[in-house]
């Protein structure tokens, strides 16, 4: 363990000395127990808390001090962990009890109407994908937003913005999405250890790149230094983080497929990001297969999930998403299809760890003014067309 972390641990434990009985308890404790790692420190706190409780010495002040020390230890443990992508820190999680109430009320905003919209541009040559859009009561949505906007939570802002943007009410939708982006482009991010916060930041970033498109990102890149690279790295990082800590969540299928698509769509940029010797198509091949593999794990066998396997196979056999007469990577590489998938998975963790180190160094941080400029430009590119869009959807349903 680094000396500076040992010093921080000692500082954290010294706070306990403000509890009168701790110094003597600590001396006696060390005669029976060793403290060699973080788990041992947490055991000490738990035993000391039990000791106070059994001796009627656990008041509100003592509870606050012990909780504070646990929080300090969690922060030190996180800083000292080489696998930060895979861990969440309980004491750094914000209070999100209100999210369940928000989700219940959000579903009440949905109407019984369902609309089907074809995904364009098409992701697959042989499969036409459609997304299901739920009808939304606009007045109820506005009331819900007014009720919960004060919580300043990126997931709430993202989820409220989604139906507005889908309905081409861009001016309002992007303005709300902007609030999520203020957290996504900032380190430290208090929602890094939150499932909902992470999801909100992740999709907010993905949506803004979709709204800007490549040429829009290039325009902003001239105003904000390295914006394109920062945006792509951050999206990749958030998607990987979600995959790493939510392996039992079916939504990782979307994370894998969208990460693969991101690398495919910006392959020239990722050549520079990944560096020499790393082929972005191998990463794409790997992500598509891992998405398919995850779908099988959750017993999902619909055509779009099976298509992920086919897309991965085509890249391996033909070096293209369109079958052709060339041998693809099965002739070029001395590794099998599954070996390439596994190598791509390992590399994705390596890249995300490096991106996280840059994020922690504040390399991707943007100011609120910069984020506002980005969102204002996105509004310029995407003009409101709410009435025409909704009328067209309704006419197609009849």
Token representation of residue 196: 């909902």
Kindly state whether residues 357 and 335 are assigned to the same domain: yes
Kindly state whether residues 275 and 320 are assigned to the same domain: yes
Kindly state whether residues 155 and 67 are assigned to the same domain: no
> Does residue 100 form part of some domain?
yes
Kindly state whether residues 191 and 201 are assigned to the same domain: yes
Kindly state whether residues 299 and 379 are assigned to the same domain: no
> Does residue 238 form part of some domain?
no
Token representation of residue 315: 């890249």
Kindly state whether residues 213 and 315 are assigned to the same domain: no
Kindly state whether residues 345 and 376 are assigned to the same domain: no
> Does residue 281 form part of some domain?
yes
> Does residue 85 form part of some domain?
no
Token representation of residue 166: 């889908």
| Domain finish residue from 80, 103, 119 | 80
How far, CA to CA in Å, does 50 sit from each of 13, 20, 25, 65, 72?
17, 15, 12, 14, 20
Q: How many whole angstroms separate alpha carbon 390 and alpha carbon 398?
A: 13
Q: How many whole angstroms separate alpha carbon 291 and alpha carbon 20?
A: 55
| Domain finish residue from 47, 80, 113 | 80
Kindly state whether residues 95 and 182 are assigned to the same domain: yes
**Prediction pTM value:** 0.85
Angle between helices 195-223 and 368-381 (to 10 degrees): 80
Kindly state whether residues 255 and 361 are assigned to the same domain: yes
Q: What are the residue ranges of helices labelled H in the chain? A: 3-14, 22-30, 38-54, 60-79, 98-109, 138-148, 154-166, 170-184, 195-223, 227-245, 252-265, 267-274, 280-297, 303-318, 328-332, 337-360, 368-381, 386-397
Domains identified in the chain, total number: 3
> Does residue 40 form part of some domain?
yes
Q: How many whole angstroms separate alpha carbon 110 and alpha carbon 169?
A: 17
Kindly state whether residues 339 and 253 are assigned to the same domain: yes
Structural domain range at position 176: 91-224+367-398
Token representation of residue 78: 């996180």
> Does residue 135 form part of some domain?
yes
Kindly state whether residues 390 and 319 are assigned to the same domain: no
Kindly state whether residues 157 and 215 are assigned to the same domain: yes
> Does residue 321 form part of some domain?
yes
For every one of its 398 residues, what pLDDT tens digit does the chain have, with 9 covering 90 and above?
556 667 777 787 788 989 999 999 999 999 999 888 788 888 999 999 999 999 989 999 999 999 889 888 887 887 777 788 998 877 778 889 999 999 999 999 988 765 556 666 665 555 565 565 667 888 999 999 999 999 999 999 999 999 999 999 999 999 999 999 999 999 999 999 999 999 999 999 999 999 999 999 999 999 999 999 999 999 999 999 999 999 999 999 999 999 999 999 999 999 999 998 999 999 999 999 999 999 999 999 999 999 999 999 999 998 876 776 676 888 888 899 999 999 999 999 999 999 999 999 999 999 999 999 999 999 999 999 988 877 776 666 55
Count of alpha carbons within 13 angstroms of residue 201, beta-carbon side? 29
């Amino acid at each position: 363990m680094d000396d500076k972390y040992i010093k921080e641990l000692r500082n954290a434990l010294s706070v306990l000395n403000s509890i009168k009985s701790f110094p003597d308890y600590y001396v006696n404790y060390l005669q029976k127990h060793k403290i060699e790692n973080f788990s041992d420190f947490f055991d000490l706190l738990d035993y000391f808390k039990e000791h106070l409780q059994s001796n009627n010495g656990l008041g509100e002040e003592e509870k606050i001090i012990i909780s504070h020390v646990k929080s300090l230890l969690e922060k030190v443990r996180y800083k000292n962990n080489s696998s930060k992508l895979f861990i969440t820190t309980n004491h750094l999680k914000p209070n999100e009890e209100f999210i369940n109430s928000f989700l219940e009320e959000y579903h009440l905003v949905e109407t019984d109407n369902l609309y089907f919209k074809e995904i364009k541009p098409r992701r697959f040559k042989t499969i036409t994908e459609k997304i299901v859009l739920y009808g939304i009561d606009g007045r109820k949505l506005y009331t819900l937003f007014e009720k919960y906007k004060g919580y300043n939570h990126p997931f709430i802002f993202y989820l409220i913005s989604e139906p507005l943007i889908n309905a081409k009410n861009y001016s309002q939708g992007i303005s709300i999405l902007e609030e999520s982006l203020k957290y996504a482009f900032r380190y430290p991010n208090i929602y890094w250890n939150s499932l909902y916060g992470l999801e909100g930041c992740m999709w907010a970033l993905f949506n803004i790149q979709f709204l800007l498109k490549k040429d829009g990102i290039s325009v902003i890149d001239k105003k904000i230094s390295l914006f394109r690279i920062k945006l792509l790295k951050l999206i990749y990082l958030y998607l990987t983080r979600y995959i790493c800590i939510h392996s039992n969540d079916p939504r990782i299928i979307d994370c894998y497929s969208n990460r693969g698509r991101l690398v495919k769509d910006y392959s020239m940029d990722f050549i520079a990001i990944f560096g020499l010797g790393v082929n972005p198509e191998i990463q794409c091949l790997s992500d598509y297969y891992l998405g398919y593999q995850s779908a099988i794990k959750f017993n999902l066998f619909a055509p779009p999930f099976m298509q992920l396997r086919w897309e991965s196979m085509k890249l391996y056999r033909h070096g293209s998403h369109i079958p052709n007469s060339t041998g693809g990577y099965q002739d070029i590489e001395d590794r099998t299809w599954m070996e390439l998938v596994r190598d791509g998975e390992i590399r994705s963790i390596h890249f995300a760890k490096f991106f996280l180190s840059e994020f922690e160094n504040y390399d991707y941080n943007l100011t609120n003014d910069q984020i506002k400029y980005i969102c204002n430009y996105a509004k310029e590119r995407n003009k409101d067309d709410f009435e025409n869009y909704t009328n067209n959807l309704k006419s197609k349903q009849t």
